[in-house]
Structure 1
Amino acid sequence: MALTRRYLRFVNAAPAEELGLSTAEANRRRDVYGPNDPTPPMARHRLALFAAMVRNPLVAILLASAGISFFTGDRVNSTIIVVIVAISLGLDAVQNARSQAAMKRLQKEVALQVLALRDGNWQKVPRSNIVPGDLVRLSAGDLIPADGTLIEERDLHVQESALTGESIPVEKEVGGLEEASKVFLGTIAVSGTATFRVERTGRDTKFGEIAQELREAAPPTEFQRGLHDFGVLIMRAVVLLTAFVFLALVTVRHSVVESLLFAAALAVGLTPEFLPMITTLTLAKGAVKMAKRKVIVKNLASIQNFGSIEILCSDKTGTLTTGELTLEGAFDDEGRESTSPLELARLNALFQTGYSNPLDAAVLAKTGEERGEYQKVDEIPFDFERRRVSVIVEKDGHRRLVSKGAPEGMLTACQGGGDAIRAKIADLEQNGFRVLAIASTEVGQKASYGPADESGLQLEGILAFADPPMPDALQVLNRLKRDGIQVKVITGDNEEVARHVCGQVGLDPGVILLGSEIDALDERTLGERAETTTVFARVNPTQKNKIILSLKRKGHVVGYMGDGINDAPALHTADIGISFSSATEAAKDAAQVILTERSLEVLHRGVLEGRMAFGNVMKYILMGTSSNFGNMFSMAAAAVFLPFLPMLPIQILLNNLLYDLAQVTIPTDQVDPSFTHRPKRWDLTAIRNFMLWVGPVSSAFDFLTFYVLLRVFQADAKLFHSGWFVESIATQTLVIFVIRTQRSPWQSKPSRALAISVIATTIIGTTLPYWPIGKDLGFVPLPPLYLAFVAGATACYLALVEFLKQKILGAVWKSAE
């Protein structure tokens, strides 16, 4: 792939290898080429964001209404509408900016780092800051951060399936054929080390060009789909009700302008226009709280998916077990204790350059890292076809290929391996030991070696490793089960090892499904087996993907936890991919959630925080579709039958603004512990049922208020407006104390911020008719006796809603769980 001129001028002027770029030069080049991101998000100027807000149809209607009022001489009304719109937009913009700033701070904590030569020193640099001309060092497990040319390498093998679809690693070499000496962004170093000079970054890379051609919006999460469906539900209600009111008002001889203003104000009252802001703020606060609990989410939409997890798939190592392996025994090919396979395992562990693993660490901890007279010649990296890794070493002119791998694969490929060693392997695995087979063979002199050179292997023996269970594994698994999360173990290990470990932590393995059996099942049968199976053994990455996809097709929200290079596809496939801060770069890049501590308990706490964030979003939604909807329905009905408008448009807007301001603090509220005991998913039926039960109750009290105002107090238009405004504010806002909890309001206290905002809003709303500005808003002072009626009616309304919540709406609450 030829370099363009703009890249050549920097690559040809690349610095001497021993110095690298200076920080100042790197910053200058970043200004020229931009961040190293193949699919950068579309940058939006603040004015563009503000313009997008103003283009909102409801905001546009309000501003149009303000313009009509201004040109018809009602400048007070016009000014108040503009002020209300400005407050809403300003609050929305400020809160969203704060939320996005919080997320950027969290994302920096898990940003991928690259080892680059800067100012003469090798140092960690954020991947987004890599520029053409940089010298970058690679090791096994690294994501290649840009396109470039190798200047040195040792046994480098790269997984290029993201570009080519080919699963077998490709060997790279300096000065080889064009493709062999090049590395590309988005591919993964699976073994070896290398240094390369960056030539292309971001959208100009090979991966970036493909990504731009195929670029499309990421599929919406379940949370985003739920918000969209809820928006459709509300929009239908708004269109039907406001169109009916507008036509009815015009029919009963109200002016078209007056009817239009009233219908527009009613539409605003019906629409939970603060929902995006409340959602963003709630999820951002949840993300910050999760970070304090060692769980970092990469994007806000992942939080609800995290809380929705029903099935968690994970390997046993590092989750059910500590992952800190110890070497417990070495045995020859007859099953007798022997040090000879341990010496060969030491050579393999010393010289293989694939991703570091606890098996090699345990071997070297036992033997030390002295290389002696051996020199490494070549390496054949691990892949899931062979299930082994081999190194070729030389001593005194003689070369030997030393291979290690899973016993089942090695026994098939090796000479030897009789009944005695097979019985020893079975005994060790039944007692929970992980077993590694060691084999070797003499090889001749040649330039390079491949899998074909592994023919004629002689089994030298086996090693046995212990991986003790997590001390708290049993308790955490019980808590996960209590909270509706089923743990499934997907491991590449032997089924006997998996069975033993599960028994140690109290997890019933049941009938174990093997990878070879998975390949023989059709899609429907695999889905049925996957639902009822707890442990999957001898599974390769392709089979992991099949398991996760089959569970998703059955309607489950699936989380997958992994940390290796070969876990990346499964992390992408799962509804929520979970990795660790110590994982490979490939795994961290694919995951949506990063745990800074390897622990099921940390994951459990994060899931509960995700559910609590969703719970607070649901409070706002249930408020908007119950009491608020009831009041707006009352307003629509009254507009048809009264000789005057039940409220002036400006009063409706003010009522709606106060109502929304009271709920801005919902993200600070506590969530009932019982709400976190089950995965949370959207249920529009439950929301609609809640609206149909509580909305009419709110309307019934509104109609009672109309009767009292018209019959008892003989109210004219202004007194009616004032009286209903006060009753509406009191019932709409105070009912949050009932709706926010499934328990009695006296048993579940709101957060201090929520209590203050609701009470303050209620006081402002009920006293507004007595303020000097009240006259400009069309209000008049209310008789004390009417205020007493409002207090009594509000208390009765809250009591009735509580009764309905506990008795009639119990099923709705349960379905929301």
Structure 2
Amino acid sequence: MTSTDQASLGQGLSSAEAAARLNQFGPNQIRPKRQRLVILEFLARLRNPLVLILLAASGISAVTGDATGACVIGLIVLASVTLDFFQEHRAGQAAQRLAAQVEVVATVLRDGTPCEVALSRLVPGDVVLLSAGRLVPADGMALEADDFFVNQAQLTGEPYPVEKRLGPTLQAHTWDADAPNAVFMGSSVVSGSARVLILRTGPLTALGQIATSLEKQPPATAFERGTRQFGLLIMRLTFGMVLFVLLVNIALHRPLLESFLFAVALAVGLTPELLPMIVSVTLARGALRMADKKVIVKRLSAMQDMGSMDVLCTDKTGTLTEAKIRLERHIDAQSRDSAHVLELAYLNSHFESGLKSPLDDAILQHDEIDASGWNKLDEVPFDFERRRVSVLVERQGRRLLVVKGAPEDILGLCTRYEQEDGSAAPLDGAARACITALFDSLGEEGLRVLAIAWRDMPPDHPHAVVTDESALIFAGFAAFLDPPKASAGEALAAMAASGVAVKIVTGDNERVTRHICMQLGVPIHGVLTGKEIAAMNDDALRARVADVNLFCRANPAQKNRILLALKARGHVVGYLGDGINDAPSLHSADIGISVDSAVDVAKQAAAMILLENDLGVLHAGILEGRRTFGNVMKYIMMATSSNFGNMFSMAAAALILPFLPMLPLQILLNNLLYDFSELPLPLDNVDEEDLVRPRRWDMTFIRNFMLTIGPISSLFDLLTFYLLMTLLKADETLFHTGWFVESIATQVLVIFVIRTRRNPLRSHPHPWLTWLSLGVVALAMLLPFSPVASGLGFVPLPLEFFGLLAVLLAVYLSLVELGKRWFYRRYAAPAANQSAERH
């Protein structure tokens, strides 16, 4: 560290120096995202193995004299790649703009003034102001610290907060990780405040160098598992069919290059190469619509998972309640109003340096309490294992440890209780039973309760430690009212009607939560407490978790176990949380959901951010996720039925025809036109009945749909072959032309049947989908009569072909409609029953 740095420790950097250091050290990211030029992003698309094979084959064709065919293949490949790149690039930019709206920031001194700066733009030399609930944005050393406790379990595995104090100056290139003033990226501030000098950022941090658990991939989401399974299915089908066709053509002694091109083109036809673009654009458009509904999507794949979500785990405060907490009563052990209990509670909340809870705010609203005569000496911050906070205060030589926390824990530490005259009496069994009954009665009234206790400390006792929390004197209870949210009951009913089971996972006690649920009209199916969960192994919890919808007194580790148990039973799980203790669960859930007012730790871990803490907003987001999922599934079912049927019949035709059933470049053109017709799918309307229940990736369902609709498509292709050869006496060129037009017409128009479970005439597609699909079919019919026909290997079709085509299309679409109805009667009902059983 230079002398200039030492002199400017307190004031931070200038804006100009910060910009220069950002260029020097790069962004503060463990794995910085490389911003590639647009042209490099486009060229990266050409690395697709199928694209490279096609380009290589095109070059070989040009060398062997087929310049026209080589140019056409090259142009088709270029058009397809460009189409894919343009749409997905726009979708990616839209997603980045949304994520930027909720990016986590740090308070940094720049030019001597505090300002908000994105974490990625921090540089060595920055001075950051940290307080409870904030993330430590990079490695550094504390310049000032006031009861500064951090949780660095992500780095060290230590479950308890560690206090950071001032210490010797640390050097950026070599410093002691155990130094008392060293702080690390990935830690979170539990309590207190500090001014920290950033020494190392990005990959140079301890977290960046050892790639700890914060950078471990979370468990695969339902969407990721589904796409992986679908990719494997398509890969197996494609490899088997292409190998079969190639061997047949070689066995029949057809030209090797043409046979190779045909096999590769067939692979392109079988591969749903438009799927990444369809998924990206659909998700991005869904995310933009969700932004209009006050939901910001940070991770686009969460849109799909939202559509599949069938269980939502949520806390009670602020979700089911108004989070407008007021202190209703402050009573002693005999249930009498006690000013002393209020004073002790006020001192604890006033001097606590951790993140203030709504309960603290409610206590501090009683500004008639005068804390000016008291001085704070030390504190033991709150943690979720102890569930209490202690402050050591002094006035006129008297030192007092004031403890506030969960009644069950506080009572276990008390040996005496305070009487009306201020004297302390032994807390024997009878007194303990009376106090416990008083606590239970407050819970029955729906009041949240904190226990208040204290003890005198020796005058020479300078610090507070956990072991001081013993032999306490029980003062009384502070009881709070948090009324239920008016909109929550309606939103919960809407969730249940939409097939989403809401499970309440809270640190509060059972009686208070039951009272709130009763007021909201939420039936309780089963209850598990934190103590009961702690006594269960994972198998036992997995067996019970589906039958329970109320989990009380659960700590962060237990909340995470609940989520993992639900996922292990096949549920797609969302988790709604906003506190420090919610970060592990937000990370493990299929969809981590937080709110804009949440602490940084929670916002960082979440995949979605609600701009309004309202279940009604979340319900609207769930429906949008299902709409997005529905449109992606339309393309999947098209690609695995009609498209696959056409490619299958093409492979079969290679066996029975004396020539290739379609030229390689015609297959590629067919595929390009088909893909072009599907571009408006992200805009398409989704039937209301498809929004009623959660929908998820089901490879058995997709495979069965393919085996139902695909053979109908293949049957009509083979019928077309027969009619072309017998009625029209088609030669090779006329056959290619006729089948190209028929193939496009059946592949494209069948979308109007497949896109809905209803009668196609009763479900209205988006106008863009209608006009673009009809336009592509019209273009395919006109191509044989255009100036480019000869270059594409087409000849004009006789008039009687179009009459034949009209009859074939009418019968084909009717049979697909009948097959579709049979399929949904046969397979949709069992799927619905299985979904019901999971609940």
Which TM-score bucket, shorter chain as reference? Answer: over 0.9
Give the Cα–Cα distance (whole angstroms) in 2 for the partners of residues 742 and 460 of structure 1: 66
Give 3-state SS (helix, strand or coil) of 1:272's partner. coil
Q: Which residue of 2 aligns with 1:186?
A: 186
Q: Which residue of 1 aligns with 2:435?
A: 421
Give the Cα–Cα distance (whole angstroms) in 1 for the partners of residues 214 and 147 of structure 2: 33
Q: Which moved more, 1:418-427 or 1:67-76?
A: 418-427
Sort the Cα spacing of 1:546 and 1:213 in 2 relative to 1 into closer, same or farther, 3 A. Answer: closer
Give the Cα–Cα distance (whole angstroms) in 2 for the partners of residues 13 and 578 of structure 1: 41
From 114, 117, 141, give the equivalent of 2:106.
Answer: 114
Offset, 1:128: 0.9
Q: Which residue of 2 aligns with 1:298?
A: 298
Offset, 1:370: 5.1
Offset, 1:815: 6.4
Q: Which residue of 1 aligns with 2:753?
A: 738
Code of the aligned partner of 1:174: L
Aligned: 1:126 with 2:141 = no
Offset, 1:454: 2.6
Give the Cα–Cα distance (whole angstroms) in 1 for the partners of residues 589 and 560 of structure 2: 8
Code of the aligned partner of 2:652: A
Q: Which residue of 1 aligns with 2:424?
A: none
Contact 1:565 1:587 in 2 (8 A): yes
Give 3-state SS (helix, strand or coil) of 2:211's partner. helix
Contact 2:9 2:197 in 1 (8 A): no
Offset, 1:247: 2.3
The 5 Å alignment of 1:54-93 reads 54-93=46-85
Contact 2:392 2:401 in 1 (8 A): yes
Give the Cα–Cα distance (whole angstroms) in 1 for the partners of residues 309 and 32 of structure 2: 29
Give the Cα–Cα distance (whole angstroms) in 2 for the partners of residues 454 and 238 of structure 1: 68
Offset, 1:113: 0.8
Give 3-state SS (helix, strand or coil) of 2:788's partner. helix
The 5 Å alignment of 1:413-812 reads 413-414=413-414, 415-416=416-417, 418=431, 419-445=433-459, 446-812=461-827
Give the Cα–Cα distance (whole angstroms) in 2 for the partners of residues 334 and 215 of structure 1: 52
Offset, 1:358: 0.7
Q: Which moved more, 1:304-313 or 1:746-755?
A: 304-313
Q: Which residue of 1 aligns with 2:420?
A: none
Give the Cα–Cα distance (whole angstroms) in 2 for the partners of residues 441 and 532 of structure 1: 44
Contact 2:663 2:736 in 1 (8 A): yes
1:687-713, Cα deviation, whole Å (9 max, x unpaired): 111111111111222222222222222
Q: Which residue of 1 aligns with 2:135?
A: 143
Give 3-state SS (helix, strand or coil) of 2:86's partner. helix
Offset, 1:46: 4.8
Give 3-state SS (helix, strand or coil) of 1:13's partner. helix
Give the Cα–Cα distance (whole angstroms) in 1 for the partners of residues 669 and 288 of structure 2: 33
Give the Cα–Cα distance (whole angstroms) in 2 for the partners of residues 166 and 758 of structure 1: 60
Q: Which moved more, 1:636-645 or 1:13-22?
A: 13-22
Offset, 1:641: 1.5
Sort the Cα spacing of 1:368 and 1:131 in 2 relative to 1 into closer, same or farther, 3 A. Answer: farther
Contact 2:154 2:213 in 1 (8 A): no
Give the Cα–Cα distance (whole angstroms) in 2 for the partners of residues 510 and 232 of structure 1: 40
Give 3-state SS (helix, strand or coil) of 1:327's partner. strand
Q: Which residue of 1 aligns with 2:247?
A: 247
Give 3-state SS (helix, strand or coil) of 1:404's partner. strand
Q: Which residue of 1 aligns with 2:172?
A: none
Give the Cα–Cα distance (whole angstroms) in 2 for the partners of residues 675 and 189 of structure 1: 44
Q: Which residue of 1 aligns with 2:286?
A: 286
Give 3-state SS (helix, strand or coil) of 2:748's partner. helix
Give the Cα–Cα distance (whole angstroms) in 2 for the partners of residues 272 and 553 of structure 1: 30
Contact 2:488 2:614 in 1 (8 A): no
Q: Which moved more, 1:607-616 or 1:15-24?
A: 15-24
Sort the Cα spacing of 1:218 and 1:469 in 2 relative to 1 into closer, same or farther, 3 A. Answer: closer
From 145, 152, 158, give the equivalent of 1:153.
Answer: 145
RMSD (Å) for aligned C-alpha atoms: 2.0
Offset, 1:146: 1.2
Contact 2:135 2:188 in 1 (8 A): yes
Q: Which residue of 2 aligns with 1:364?
A: 364
Give the Cα–Cα distance (whole angstroms) in 2 for the partners of residues 573 and 776 of structure 1: 56
Structure 2 gaps of 5+ residues are: 169-175, 418-426, 833-839
Sort the Cα spacing of 1:694 and 1:148 in 2 relative to 1 into closer, same or farther, 3 A. Answer: same
Give 3-state SS (helix, strand or coil) of 2:291's partner. helix
Contact 2:11 2:127 in 1 (8 A): no
Give the Cα–Cα distance (whole angstroms) in 2 for the partners of residues 421 and 246 of structure 1: 83
Sort the Cα spacing of 1:196 and 1:281 in 2 relative to 1 into closer, same or farther, 3 A. Answer: same
Give the Cα–Cα distance (whole angstroms) in 2 for the partners of residues 510 and 646 of structure 1: 62
Give the Cα–Cα distance (whole angstroms) in 1 for the partners of residues 530 and 219 of structure 2: 29
Sort the Cα spacing of 1:288 and 1:15 in 2 relative to 1 into closer, same or farther, 3 A. Answer: farther
Give the Cα–Cα distance (whole angstroms) in 1 for the partners of residues 28 and 702 of structure 2: 44
Q: Which residue of 1 aligns with 2:266?
A: 266
Aligned: 1:96 with 2:88 = yes
Sort the Cα spacing of 1:690 and 1:65 in 2 relative to 1 into closer, same or farther, 3 A. Answer: same
Give the Cα–Cα distance (whole angstroms) in 2 for the partners of residues 498 and 214 of structure 1: 33
1:545-584, Cα deviation, whole Å (9 max, x unpaired): 2222222222222222111111112222222221111111
Structure 1 gaps of 5+ residues are: 1-7
Contact 1:683 1:816 in 2 (8 A): no
- How many residues align? The count is 809
Contact 2:186 2:214 in 1 (8 A): no
Offset, 1:261: 1.9
Q: Which residue of 1 aligns with 2:340?
A: 340
Q: Which residue of 1 aligns with 2:161?
A: 169
Q: Which residue of 2 aligns with 1:275?
A: 275
Give 3-state SS (helix, strand or coil) of 1:366's partner. coil
Offset, 1:213: 11
Aligned: 1:375 with 2:375 = yes
Sort the Cα spacing of 1:286 and 1:316 in 2 relative to 1 into closer, same or farther, 3 A. Answer: same
1:405-443, Cα deviation, whole Å (9 max, x unpaired): 111111221222624433322211111111111122222
Offset, 1:484: 1.7
Give 3-state SS (helix, strand or coil) of 1:772's partner. coil
Q: Which moved more, 1:188-197 or 1:219-228?
A: 219-228
Give the Cα–Cα distance (whole angstroms) in 1 for the partners of residues 259 and 274 of structure 2: 25
Offset, 1:15: 5.4
Give the Cα–Cα distance (whole angstroms) in 1 for the partners of residues 162 and 243 of structure 2: 65
Contact 1:742 1:813 in 2 (8 A): no
Sort the Cα spacing of 1:213 and 1:492 in 2 relative to 1 into closer, same or farther, 3 A. Answer: closer
Give the Cα–Cα distance (whole angstroms) in 1 for the partners of residues 617 and 574 of structure 2: 14
Task: Report the identity percentage.
Answer: 49
TM-score, normalised with respect to structure 2:
0.93
TM-score, normalised with respect to structure 1:
0.95
Give the Cα–Cα distance (whole angstroms) in 2 for the partners of residues 328 and 221 of structure 1: 43
Q: Which moved more, 1:213-222 or 1:135-144?
A: 213-222
Give the Cα–Cα distance (whole angstroms) in 1 for the partners of residues 151 and 652 of structure 2: 67
1:374-416, Cα deviation, whole Å (9 max, x unpaired): 2222111112333211112222232222211111111221222
Contact 1:148 1:184 in 2 (8 A): yes
Q: Which moved more, 1:806-815 or 1:409-418?
A: 806-815
Contact 2:391 2:464 in 1 (8 A): no
Give 3-state SS (helix, strand or coil) of 2:762's partner. coil
Sort the Cα spacing of 1:118 and 1:215 in 2 relative to 1 into closer, same or farther, 3 A. Answer: closer
Contact 1:35 1:202 in 2 (8 A): yes
Code of the aligned partner of 1:432: G
Q: Which residue of 2 aligns with 1:200?
A: 200
Code of the aligned partner of 1:106: L
Q: Which moved more, 1:223-232 or 1:766-775?
A: 223-232
Q: Which moved more, 1:254-263 or 1:96-105?
A: 254-263
Give the Cα–Cα distance (whole angstroms) in 2 for the partners of residues 336 and 214 of structure 1: 49
Contact 1:335 1:420 in 2 (8 A): no
